[in-house]
Amino acid sequence: MKHSTGRIEVVCGSMFSGKTEELIRLVRRA
């Protein structure tokens, strides 16, 4: 269970960071 939850956190973290980067790019363009 611990390993699976850890993987989920890593996946969510990478996706969240990617989304934040996209938002920053959109803000810079605007």
Res 5: pLDDT: 75
Per-residue pLDDT of 9-24, as tens digits, reads 777 777 788 888 888 8
What single-letter amino acid sits at 10?
V
Integer Cα distance of 12 and 26 in angstroms: 21
Q: How confident is the model at residue 27, as a pLDDT? A: 92
End-to-end CA distance of the chain: 43
For residue 28, is pLDDT > 90?
yes
